[in-house]
Amino acid sequence: MKRFLQAHFPLVVFILLWIVVAAMAPILLYAVLPIGVFLFRRAERWPDIFFGLVMSLVLSDMLHGLPGMDAMKTAKYTYILAMGLLLVTDRARLMPMARVFPIFLPFLVYAFLPILRSEVPMLAFQKTVSYALLFLVVPNYVLYNFRLQGWDFFGNLVRFLVFLLLAQQLLPWVDGNGTYFLAGRFKGFFGNPNGMAIFVYLTLVLFVVVNHLRTDLFRRAEVVFFSLVLAYYLITCGARTSLMSAVMFLLFIQVFRISVFLGIISFFAFVGIGELLIANLPAIINALGLHDYLRVDTISDGSGRYVAWQYAWQQINEQGVFLFGAGFEHENVVMQRAKMLLSSLGHQGGAHNSYLVFWLNTGIVGLLLFLRSLFLVFIKAGKNTPIALAVLFSVLFSILYESWLAGSLNPYTILLLVILTVMSEEEIIGAKEVPVAAEPGTAAEQPPPLVLPAR
């Protein structure tokens, strides 16, 4: 970790600069963020460009805390636009491009059509563009950084994510008024504890996948330390969905190593047993003395999620968006319109279900196109490593209770795209050895052997 911080010290300086600028003159973030991208590009610090994107998305999720950070919610668009511009200007050196984006292209193209019915067409257009840009930028930057640094890039990415989580411990020293807690649950840089739990869960998945594919990448002490840090935050967040998703992922790794068929059968058995446990969960939790931690009083109504699901499904059928939807951001418009009603029924927030959000925004056509692309990537990844199916089932479970996958620019979807790129890109998954970094702008090829003429 110490060597990582030394190697990426300029990135740490830039992040601290963002915080200072946000506190003193938030409007300057719209210039500082893209300038940082271009400076990193000039210095050939491509990993720092990507790590900076992750950090900007995390800071944009913060609702209260660091002063002036509200500006990051829109300033982050300038960061990814700068990355997209580099993708165009440096296209030659980035070839061949990653395959994740073309697989999702049918959905991303179709997603523009429902905007015609949107109540907020300009905002819907911006959200759709940013979502498509994320799927274009992330896999290609990940693949290019792998070409430059090999598997060390993924090792450093995991170290950066763990460092980011640990840095949250400094926040209470900045503001001791409990700003970084919600109902006694630590939320750190994130908008709520559930958001931090999703981030930790996806970081855990990335860490396990990378460590599974390259067992020599992390020292034993690092593996133990990272595991303890992630377990600590996952438990202290108090988020049942992310905790269950993580447990499901870790259990199914072992099952799918034995047999894919056994893994699929076990998944349905897990769901059946889960339904039985949920029916008797309050009594079980009370018997174990975990009433306060697992908030047993909210289990019967799913923390208000079932209220949101019922209302969202009602709107899908009554508003005529069943087939084609009404564009990105429509779900937010619908849920905000009924905020008072849903609050009186015990629900706060959005639909808390990625499937329903896609359905409201893009209709059943868009939902099926997205799932088709998602399954194609996982099928491709499953041919490379059986761990991919464990990732798939845990993600499908997570997005059943959270809507993070339907968000345009959040700190969660980016991690899933990294995981998908690692498992599905043959150039990465098929690497027998860590490739040597090539000089910028040159191909990593050996010169042809010198053949002397015969005497």
Residue 116 CB coordination number (10 Å) = 11
Q: Is 115 in the same domain as 247?
A: yes
Number of domains in the chain: 2
Residue range 308-352, pLDDT digits in tens:
889 999 999 998 899 999 999 999 999 988 888 887 777 777 888
Phi–psi pair at 178, nearest 5 degrees = 80, 20
Distance CA 205, CA 211 (A): 10
Residue range 91-104, pLDDT digits in tens:
999 999 999 999 99
Q: Which two tokens stand for residue 155?
A: 């090792």
**Residue 152: which domain range?**
96-429
Residue range 345-395, pLDDT digits in tens:
777 778 889 999 999 999 999 999 999 999 999 999 988 888 999 999 999
Residue range 209-261, pLDDT digits in tens:
999 999 999 999 999 999 999 999 998 887 888 988 999 899 989 888 887 77
- What is the mean pLDDT of the segment spanning 177-204? 84
Q: Tokens 């930028």 sit at which residue?
A: 137
Q: Is 117 in the same domain as 10?
A: no
Q: Is 63 in the same domain as 200?
A: no
Last residue within a domain, chosen from 68, 95, 122: 95
Q: Is 203 in the same domain as 57?
A: no
pLDDT at 185 over 90: no
Are 93 and 440 within 8 A, CB to CB?
A: yes
Is 228 among the domain residues? yes
Q: For position 257, what pLDDT does the model report?
A: 80
Last residue within a domain, chosen from 95, 121, 153: 95
Query: Residue 435, class by beta-carbon neighbours within 10 Å (0-12 exposed, 13-18 middle, 19+ buried)?
Result: middle
Report the chain's mean pLDDT, rounded to a whole number: 86
